[in-house]
Amino acid sequence: SCPGGIMEVVLLQGLLLLLPFAALLLYRYSAAFHYFCKVAFFNCWIVAAATLLSPFVAFRGRSVENMKLLRAAIQPLKHLYGIKMQVWGSEHLNIKEPYVIVCNHQASLDLMGMVEVIPDRCVPIAKKELMYMGTVGWACWLSGIIFIDRRKRGDAIDVISQTAQTIRRENLRVLIFPEGTRNQNKSMLPFKRGAFHLAVQAQVPIFPIVISPYWDFFSSKDKKFTSGTCTIRVLPKIETQGLSPKDVPELTDTVRKAMVDVFSEMAASRRGDQHAEHPLLPRC
């Protein structure tokens, strides 16, 4: 029985030695495995950063100033993933008054674009479920992120009203994804009106931000995650002074159309770049 036991141990050790080698081969030659590894690392980085930062930000208590630490923790990810960030129009955000930012929402990668462009004293509005995600939720709450229960319309309206008062009183900027959920389609989903009600109630301007499509380097559907370039465009502000709740539907449509036009332009430019690199590809 002893030689048999030794043989089993040797086989087990051999398998354990082969596992890292097999993982390396899969990482190199399997796009799906490569994708899952990168996504897992992204999520682990966020959890680790939140866990390490929470004790430090807890000393200050819940404060928008803690967002600076969260931004600093997320910014190295673009270098690790080889994603080049290009930001156009960031000078539009250099005003001292409060405002609302609306941005298209494609994937978790939007976090990298968000920290690249959001100004000081800016907090996102996030779904309430995020608050219950352990140290991530705790770090978000401590950073002043505003949580909203999308399933309870009455609660959501209350949060919008309270936030409208808060952003004027504390000179805050608020970032909202008006599509309400992630979307990797070729256009944007219909916009929910909460962000626009907020801007009108607070009588503050809206800054639309458009993040270019990730198609050429990231796709959860195709399990693709490579290096690439992400372009972020900050559009000129849209005033809400003098507007009332009855103007919100038209305001929502106007902002969405402006953002969709820019997104389509970015998509066409990206396809043009790909054809320039591969002149033999047929044009659509």
Residue 279's pLDDT is: 46
Identify the CA nearest to 124 among candidates 149, 104, 98, 144: 144
pLDDT confidence band for 97 (50 / 70 / 90): very high
Give me the domains of the chain, ranges plus CATH numbers: 25-273 (3.40.1130)
Burial 128-153 (b: 16+ CB within 10 A, else e): beeeeeebbbbbbbbbbbbbbeeeee
| Alpha helices for the chain (secondary structure H) | 2-29, 31-60, 67-74, 77-81, 110-117, 134-142, 153-169, 194-202, 248-277
Determine how β-strand 228-234 pairs with β-strand 206-211: antiparallel
Torsion sign across C-alpha atoms 175, 258, 108, 69: negative
- 261, 116 in Cβ contact below 8 A? no
Higher pLDDT, 186 or 271: 186
For 237-255, write each residue's pLDDT tens digit. Answer: 999 999 999 999 999 999 9
281 has pLDDT over 80: no
The percent of residues in the chain predicted with pLDDT above 70, rounded, is 90
Nearest to 108 by CA among 144, 72, 77, 76: 77
**Regarding predicted confidence, which is higher, 272 or 48?**
48
pLDDT confidence of residue 196: 96
Q: For the segment 103-125, what is each residue's pLDDT rounded down to a tens digit?
A: 999 999 999 999 999 999 999 99
SS3 110: helix
Candidates 263, 269, 232, 250; CA nearest to 84 is: 232
Q: In this predicted structure, which of 5-19, 76-90, 251-265 has the lowest mean pLDDT?
A: 5-19
Q: How confident is the model at residue 272 (pLDDT cuts 50, 70, 90)?
A: low
Region 264-272: what's the mean pLDDT? 83
Give residue-wise pLDDT tens across range 206-226.
999 999 999 889 998 999 999
Q: Band of the pLDDT at 33, cuts 50, 70, 90?
A: confident
**Contact (CB, 8 A) for 245 and 131:** no
